[in-house]
């Protein structure tokens, strides 16, 4: 009952952050600003924020006892019914805080998982989020109170008994097992589609980057250039995690070259580990990509941090050193002279369509321009590659030799990497 009630009544939230001085990587103020945006994306109204400076976190309450008292009074005064912590809490901390303050307590991870749970559209997306939620819940069963446990520990109520806990645990484990099996099936289907795309020999370009950077807007701009019908447009919103499911569209450039463009879910700092795991599958598609467009919101004061977070997550996902173009977006809002000048970077506005020509030229250079003069020897059982090369590249010489077909041609960088194994040393 309690859970249902919480959904209906307005969520007035107080945000709590902790600065331990040890985490220099992320500035606490910007991290709190982001937490506020996350809370809003989840539908809560933020009425107050506070930061505690403390050397060490408290094992029982995360923050100091005095702060707990302070927040309790604030909640009463301001009529707040939700307290959101900027870091992951243990099950015991959540229980202790809820008991002491008599409001629902959640952490950044629960908040992010909640947004994903509400927005996921595809069957796979939904399954992945549920899996991440269960994996988060399992080690915290003892502690979880109002926010997550099915029983909902009321004021003064004790936690669920041992037997109930064991039942919950078993239930969760068996659900995790079922979801993993279902995801395996989905994965098989996706692999068939991936193979199909690879067979098509159309290069794949994936949009990656921090949430709200403008990936989906850029996808739509490419479709506009490509003359794709309006209905194919993807969802764009000034909100964190607008895109949760990947989308594929075929793009044809004015000069006729074609590629598949993939829009992906955005990243955020302190992305819950369970979610990184869950989205490995979705982002597998980016692994196939011949080229990544890493989109950065150049108007954001923290774009350097966002850029680093994205690179770190890509690394965790096993998307290794890929051919990447760094796209500094939203330059209609800033003076782009302040941006770092990097070799493989483009400044543009996806919304206004400014700078698209430069991006297209760089994509063409990376994907289509034939740059490498090569001599190749293809075994006779690789006839399909021979026909591909004859069709799509400028073959200068072809000989049928004893040990295979000798071909002298020019290869673009994608083909060059793909067929490296058949290239003869000079
Ligand atoms: N001013 C300006 N706003 C832009 C530009 N590109 C995107 N936006 C805005 O930025 C917001 C986020 O855009 P999206 O395309 O949804 O961003 P995204 O990277 O797909 O975000 P997620 O799907 O949440 O990861 C929207 O309000 C866009 O209108 C741009 O070039 N200039
Ligand atoms: Mg998007």
pTM of the model: 0.79
**Separation of alpha carbons 156 and 21, rounded Å:** 35
Q: Residue 297, CB half-sphere, CA atoms under 13 Å: how many? A: 21
Element (H, E) at 207: strand 204-209
Ligand 2 mean position to 190 CA, how many Å? 21
**Separation of alpha carbons 323 and 344, rounded Å:** 10
Buried b (16+ CB within 10 A) or exposed e, 46-78: bebbbebeeeebbeebbbeeebbeebbebbeee
Ligand 2 mean position to 244 CA, how many Å? 7
Ligand 2 mean position to 265 CA, how many Å? 6
- 2 pLDDT more than 70: no
Task: Give me the helices (H) in 200-267, please.
Answer: 215-226
Greatest distance between any 2 Cα atoms in the chain: 88
pLDDT attached to residue 152: 40
208 Cβ inside 6 Å of ligand 1: no
42 Cβ inside 6 Å of ligand 1: no
Ligand 2 mean position to 314 CA, how many Å? 17
Ligand 2 mean position to 165 CA, how many Å? 39
10 Å Cβ neighbour count for 34?
A: 23
- Mean pLDDT, rounded, for 192-219: 86
Q: What is the total residue count of the chain?
A: 426
Q: 161: burial class by Cβ within 10 Å (0-12, 13-18, 19+)?
A: exposed
- 401 pLDDT more than 70: yes
Ligand 2 mean position to 299 CA, how many Å? 17
pLDDT attached to residue 280: 73
pLDDT band at 370 (very low <50, low <70, confident <90, very high): low
119 Cβ inside 6 Å of ligand 1: no
- 93 pLDDT more than 60: yes
pLDDT attached to residue 199: 65
Higher pLDDT, 418 or 363: 363
Sheet holding 204-209, edge to edge: 247-252, 258-263, 204-209, 291-297, 324-329, 345-347
Return the bridge partners of 46, or none: 13
349 Cβ inside 6 Å of ligand 1: yes
211 Cβ inside 6 Å of ligand 1: yes
pLDDT attached to residue 160: 55
> Considering every ligand atom, which ligand is closest to the CA of 239?
1
214 Cβ inside 6 Å of ligand 1: yes
237 Cβ inside 6 Å of ligand 1: yes
φ, ψ (nearest 5 deg) of residue 409: -155, -175
Ligand 2 mean position to 277 CA, how many Å? 20
Best of 120, 121, 212 to mutate for ligand 1, by most ligand atoms within 8 A of CB?
212
207-242, pLDDT tens digit by residue? Answer: 999 999 999 999 999 999 999 888 889 989 888 888
- The answer to whether 1-199 and 201-367 have equal CATH topology is yes
- Mean pLDDT, rounded, for 300-309: 91
- 295 pLDDT more than 80: yes
DSSP state of 381: G
Give the position, in ligand 1's atom list, of the atom nearest the Cα of 211.
Answer: 25
413 Cβ inside 6 Å of ligand 1: no
Give the position, in ligand 1's atom list, of the atom nearest the Cα of 238.
Answer: 27
- The strand pair at 12-19 and 104-107 is best described as unpaired
Ligand 2 mean position to 211 CA, how many Å? 7
pLDDT band at 38 (very low <50, low <70, confident <90, very high): very high
- Mean pLDDT, rounded, for 77-97: 94
pLDDT attached to residue 422: 95
Domain boundaries defined on the chain:
1-199, 201-367, 372-422
Least confident piece of the model among 111-115, 147-151, 171-175, 248-252:
147-151
pLDDT attached to residue 359: 96
143-156, pLDDT tens digit by residue? Answer: 555 554 444 433 33
Query: Which residue has its alpha carbon closest to ligand 1 atom 1?
Result: 330
Return the bridge partners of 83, or none: 14, 105
- 62 pLDDT more than 80: yes
pLDDT attached to residue 198: 67
86, 19, 84, 16: which is closest to 56 by C-alpha?
19
**Separation of alpha carbons 114 and 127, rounded Å:** 13
- As a CATH number, domain 1-199 is 3.40.50.11060
- Topology of the domain comprising 201-367: Rossmann fold (3.40.50)
**Separation of alpha carbons 90 and 107, rounded Å:** 9
Ligand 2 mean position to 117 CA, how many Å? 16
- Distances from the Cα of 331 to the Cα of 60, 115, 212, 355, angstroms: 47, 29, 15, 9
354 Cβ inside 6 Å of ligand 1: no
Q: Cβ(154)–Cβ(95) under 8 Å?
A: no
User: Percent of the chain at pLDDT above 70?
Assistant: 88
35 Cβ inside 6 Å of ligand 1: no
pLDDT attached to residue 15: 97
151, 148, 150: which is closest to 140 by C-alpha?
148
- 193 pLDDT more than 90: no
95 Cβ inside 6 Å of ligand 1: no
116-141, pLDDT tens digit by residue? Answer: 888 888 888 889 889 999 998 888 88
Chain-centroid distance, C-alpha 275: 9
216 Cβ inside 6 Å of ligand 1: yes
Average pLDDT of the chain to the nearest whole number: 85
339-360, pLDDT tens digit by residue? Answer: 877 768 999 999 999 999 999 9
Least confident piece of the model among 6-15, 26-35, 58-67, 341-350:
6-15
């Amino acid at each position: 009952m309690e859970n249902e009630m919480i959904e209906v009544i307005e969520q007035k939230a107080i945000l709590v952050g902790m600065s331990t001085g040890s985490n220099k990587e992320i500035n606490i103020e910007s991290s709190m600003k982001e937490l506020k945006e996350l809370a809003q994306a989840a539908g809560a109204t933020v009425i107050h924020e506070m930061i505690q400076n403390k050397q060490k976190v408290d094992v029982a309450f995360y923050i100091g006892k005095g702060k707990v008292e302070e927040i309790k009074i604030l909640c009463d005064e301001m009529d707040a019914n939700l307290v959101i912590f900027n870091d992951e809490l243990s099950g015991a901390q959540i229980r202790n805080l809820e008991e002491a303050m008599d409001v629902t307590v959640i952490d950044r991870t629960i908040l992010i998982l909640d947004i994903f749970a509400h927005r996921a559209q595809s069957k796979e997306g939904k399954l992945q989020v549920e899996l991440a939620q269960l994996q988060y819940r399992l080690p915290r069963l003892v502690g979880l109170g109002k926010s997550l446990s099915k029983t909902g520990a009321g004021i003064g109520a004790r936690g669920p008994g041992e037997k109930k806990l064991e039942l919950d645990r078993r239930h969760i484990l068996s659900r995790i097992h079922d979801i993993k099996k279902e995801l395996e099936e989905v994965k098989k289907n996706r692999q068939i589609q991936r193979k199909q795309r690879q067979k098509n020999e159309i290069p794949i370009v994936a949009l990656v980057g921090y949430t709200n950077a403008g990936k989906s807007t850029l996808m739509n701009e490419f479709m506009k250039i490509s003359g794709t019908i309006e209905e194919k447009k993807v969802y764009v919103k000034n909100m964190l995690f607008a895109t949760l499911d990947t989308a594929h569209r075929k793009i044809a450039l004015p000069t006729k070259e074609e590629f598949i463009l993939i829009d992906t879910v955005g990243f955020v700092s302190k992305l819950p580990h369970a979610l990184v795991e869950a989205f490995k599958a979705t982002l597998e598609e980016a692994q196939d990509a011949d080229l990544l467009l890493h989109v950065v919101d150049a108007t954001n004061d923290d774009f350097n941090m966002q850029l680093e977070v994205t690179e770190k997550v890509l690394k965790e996902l096993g998307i290794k050193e890929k051919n990447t173009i760094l796209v500094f977006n939203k330059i209609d809002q800033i003076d782009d002279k302040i941006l770092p000048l990097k070799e493989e970077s483009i400044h543009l506005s996806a919304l206004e369509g400014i700078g698209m020509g430069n991006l297209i030229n760089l994509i063409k250079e990376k994907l289509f321009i034939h740059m490498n003069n090569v001599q190749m020897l293809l075994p006779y059982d690789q006839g399909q590659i021979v026909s591909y090369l004859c069709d799509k590249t400028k073959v200068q010489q072809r000989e049928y030799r004893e040990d295979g077909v000798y071909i002298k041609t020019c290869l673009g960088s994608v083909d060059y990497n793909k067929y490296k194994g058949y290239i003869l040393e000079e």
